[in-house]
Structure 1
Amino acid sequence: MRTRTRVAASLAAAGVVALAGCGTDVDDITVGSGKGWPAAHHDGRNSAASPVSGASAMTLSWSRPVGGPIAQPVTIGGEGQLFVTTSTGNCAVFSYQMQTGRKRFCNPLGPSTIEAPTVVDGINNVYVGDDGAVNSFNYLGQPRWRTPVAGVPVAIQFTGDGRVLTVTQSGQVDVLSRQTGEREVPTLQLLGEPDFLKYPGLTRPASGDGLDDCQVGGPRCAVANTTAVDPETGRFFVTVWEPGKPMASLRAMSYADGTVTQLWSADMLTDGSATSPALSADGATVYVGDNSGRLIAVNTEDGSTRWTHALGWTPRGRIALVDDLILPSGDDGYLAAIRDHGDRADRAWERKDLAQRGTPALTSGEIGYTVAAIGAGLNLITFDTTTGTTIDSDPLPNATGTTTGTSIGPEGQVVVATRLGEIFTFTPDA
């Protein structure tokens, strides 16, 4: 057992000691098969698509409040263990059992944990950020390690070689060992390193600085969304709004040969980024939405725009992908599918009668799920992804407002959480 200490050279991590947990140098913890919902948008590509076969009829299994608001999607381990972040004063990260909703653990962390998503590996270790750190806990909630960073990790993913990739809202990029939390490559600052000679009195901003702008992709949040990762090439894609720039950019980065470098940057996100980037299955196209109401398809090789499509509303949060169909989210819009023709896009189908109050999640078997406003309440809508036709509709009892995401469990369960702080779990009908 040993403790490692690192002192980062940049202002962002100056004077901060990184403590690695007990363990060996052998990384024998698997990332997992992708069953369950191990990341905010299911996988590294942010596809919001599960390999599990969807069910055409669902029944509410249980619901429960967590005691505080929820801002991020629920993640689900391969055996059905649920993880969610909140802000209750006493607990910031919760875990529940799928079958009963019984709490497995809750752990206190910093107040900004509510803005940090979780990721789960193959043996239900969970990784989550808070004010100035990345943390890992095992399936019982016991601490494994804590590594200091500058800001709050608003993007957390697994790399193709099984490391933890984190990006904070202030633009600090780190690649960490899943076993120890130790930095595997030098930290990179997306906004550049501080110039101490030019600004000798420069101080480190508060960890939560600018977080209020992250939900809407505003200018005070440099990085507002979850990174999309191509596990085959080591490339990843991140939205960045540099101070003083008129619009945000989409950047392609490379994690290879022990370092992180920038491949290209394209200023294209008018009024800031609205969605996390989502990567096509072949890795050739990355999709992203901006606050001017556009969906944009981008060539991953050089950052050139393949096409833009005006939605008529601002997409928000996630883009779901299945084959050549793209389903944007956004509480200002409705359920719709856009078809990618390579050099242009058009509407494959639309459901203007279904006002979205959540984010679509797709399964195999041409079935998808989303939450829509029905009357004064909210319903889980089961729909045919090829036509948009409603297959099933199930109310979320007494739920109001909107939801943070739609997640699919390893046996086809559907889990949604309201922003007011209640989890609803549906199971397939036998």
Structure 2
Amino acid sequence: MRAAAAVATVAATALALASCSDGQVQVKSLASPGWSSFGGNAGNTNFAYPDVPKDLALSWTRPTGGPVTSPLTISNQSNVSVTSNTADGCNWLVLDQRAGRMNYCKRMRPGIEVQAPLIDQFDQVYVGEETSFLGWTAGGVIRWRMPVIGVPTSAKFVAPSVVLVATTQGQILLLNTQDSTFAAPEVRLRADANPDDAMAGFADCLVSGPRCGIPAPAAVDFDRQRLFLNFWPQGAIASQIRALDYGEVNGRREVREAWHADIPGGVVGPATVSADGTTVYAFSRLGKLVALHADTGKTKWTFDYGDPGFATLTATPDGKIIPTGPLGGPLRMLADRGDRAEQVWNRTDLKTVSLSTLTNAGTAWTVVRTADDGLALTEVSAEDGKTLRTLPLPDAKGFTTGVAVSPKGQIAVATNIGKVYFFDSKAEIGK
């Protein structure tokens, strides 16, 4: 009888939680396990904990109808969410893991193409467009809509049921994911934010120019309640890394500056915060990878990297780093030694065309250009850089926007010309 009662209790609990997928019950939402946001996680470390199957193989491909410029994300149910820049038709697709069929697709306003959708544990999605940020059900129905100034960057969870919206015009919002009410007072980091012109300065965001207040997604230290922005102050000669605290003050959550660090030449791309919360990484326009003390913003070290390329990186919890270089550049591993960075290995024979992803298994996944100018998903050893396996991307050209790993260890990549490739265990394909 006790066992039966326990089963009934578990079933009732599961039913209650399941109802949250459409926002019917007040339950705290959190980032979905797996690859739920830009950068794979709150800190933008592009690090994957799930084991990738040994029998990984191409499962399906799907065209998006237009160029892809942002990384895709994968939900707890391994559904793929990808945005694209299409002339007409859908520019945001949610694809089923089994065969790449569309669970749903949407036609959104401009700005959607620069975002990686944020997904919670109930497969609910949070993504924006010019003038608006929206919360969606798992089935693709709008739950709520919040007006914003400018275009949102890719959103992040900053606390249970609290989502960060940072816009290209320097607006900062913390919203309750249940009903979009403010979890903290609004902050405007620039006086020139223009509610009547959402696209003002948007073209500068592509090159991290001065008219774009926040050109890249934030990095978030969830435990310390601090976020880190690539921010260009109005009238400044260069962009900076700005740290903002968002914890409670006198019982009320507030967003307030902790410090800012002026980076010589300015910042390109998003910040990354280490897994232990002690270090913030950023790329400078002068070709340096910069490591800052997360507590103070003071420089720990710089590493002459050259062309910052995609100006993103992947980092392990123990300080191994693979920066993303220019298209066709080598695959290089660095180690953060605390007061300096050292090169561990450098694969000059590999022509990388993607942001890489380091894994808990001690390997790294990236996409490289092949001898016939095609593309291949490649796994290398994090210890010495030796190639472990290569999986072709049929008919792929150009570059890919990153390597996403699902909670089950499946891998998805999207080419810039507009095609999604999904890899799964051979044992699961066709089931």
Please give the TM-score of this superposition, normalised by the length of structure 1: 0.88
Task: Give the aligned partner of residue 189 of structure 1.
Answer: 188
- What's the CA shift for 1:380? 0.6
**Alpha carbons of 1:140 and 1:23: their partners in 2 closer, same or farther (altered >3 Å)?**
closer
* Superposition pairs of residues 151-170 of structure 1, within 5 angstroms: 151-170=150-169
Per the alignment, in what secondary structure is the counterpart of residue 220 of structure 1?
coil
Per the alignment, in what secondary structure is the counterpart of residue 213 of structure 1?
helix
Task: Give the aligned partner of residue 106 of structure 1.
Answer: 105
- What's the CA shift for 1:218? 2.5
Are 2:369 and 1:370 aligned?
no
- What's the CA shift for 1:346? 1.2
* Superposition pairs of residues 11-410 of structure 1, within 5 angstroms: 27-32=26-31, 35-56=33-54, 58-88=56-86, 89-192=88-191, 204=195, 206-257=197-248, 258-270=253-265, 272-322=266-316, 323-332=318-327, 333-375=329-371, 376-410=373-407
- What's the CA shift for 1:169? 0.9
Whether contact under 8 Å (2:161, 2:178) holds in the other structure is no
Distance in 2 separating the partners of 1:31 and 1:42: 14
Amino acid at match of 1:137: W
Whether contact under 8 Å (1:274, 1:315) holds in the other structure is no
Paired-residue identity, %: 32
- What's the CA shift for 1:56? 4.8
Amino acid at match of 1:283: G
Please give the TM-score of this superposition, normalised by the length of structure 2: 0.88
Amino acid at match of 2:39: H
Whether contact under 8 Å (1:52, 1:412) holds in the other structure is yes
Higher deviation after alignment, 157-166 or 127-136: 157-166
Amino acid at match of 1:297: A
- What's the CA shift for 1:391? 0.6
Whether contact under 8 Å (1:126, 1:137) holds in the other structure is yes
Amino acid at match of 2:254: T
- What's the CA shift for 1:330? 2.9
Task: Give the aligned partner of residue 426 of structure 1.
Answer: 423
Distance in 2 separating the partners of 1:109 and 1:29: 27
- What's the CA shift for 1:116? 2.1
Q: Deviations over 1:289-338 (max 9, x none)?
A: 12222111000111100000011221424211111111111334321111
**Alpha carbons of 1:39 and 1:110: their partners in 2 closer, same or farther (altered >3 Å)?**
same
Whether contact under 8 Å (1:111, 1:131) holds in the other structure is yes
Whether contact under 8 Å (2:131, 2:150) holds in the other structure is yes
Q: Deviations over 1:86-140 (max 9, x none)?
A: 2332323210001210111011221221112210000000000101111111121
Whether contact under 8 Å (1:338, 1:349) holds in the other structure is yes
Unaligned 5+ segments in structure 2 are 1-21
Per the alignment, in what secondary structure is the counterpart of residue 263 of structure 2?
strand
- RMSD of aligned C-alpha atoms? 1.9
Q: Deviations over 1:202-234 (max 9, x none)?
A: x64521222233233222322111111111111
Distance in 2 separating the partners of 1:355 and 1:213: 29
Amino acid at match of 1:303: G
Distance in 2 separating the partners of 1:325 and 1:379: 23
Task: Give the aligned partner of residue 199 of structure 1.
Answer: none
Whether contact under 8 Å (2:191, 2:234) holds in the other structure is no
- What's the CA shift for 1:351? 0.9
Per the alignment, in what secondary structure is the counterpart of residue 314 of structure 2?
strand
Q: Deviations over 1:217-256 (max 9, x none)?
A: 2223221111111111111100111243222100110001
Per the alignment, in what secondary structure is the counterpart of residue 269 of structure 2?
coil
- What's the CA shift for 1:358? 0.8
**Alpha carbons of 1:58 and 1:317: their partners in 2 closer, same or farther (altered >3 Å)?**
farther
Whether contact under 8 Å (1:57, 1:382) holds in the other structure is no
Amino acid at match of 1:398: D
Distance in 1 separating the partners of 2:232 and 2:196: 17
Distance in 2 separating the partners of 1:220 and 1:204: 15
Distance in 2 separating the partners of 1:331 and 1:141: 36
- What's the CA shift for 1:406? 1.1
- For this pair of structures, how many residues does the alignment match? 398
Per the alignment, in what secondary structure is the counterpart of residue 128 of structure 2?
strand
Distance in 1 separating the partners of 2:224 and 2:192: 26
Unaligned 5+ segments in structure 1 are 1-21, 195-202
- What's the CA shift for 1:161? 3.1
Per the alignment, in what secondary structure is the counterpart of residue 246 of structure 2?
strand
Per the alignment, in what secondary structure is the counterpart of residue 257 of structure 2?
strand
Amino acid at match of 1:336: R
- What's the CA shift for 1:152? 0.7
- What's the CA shift for 1:23? 6.3
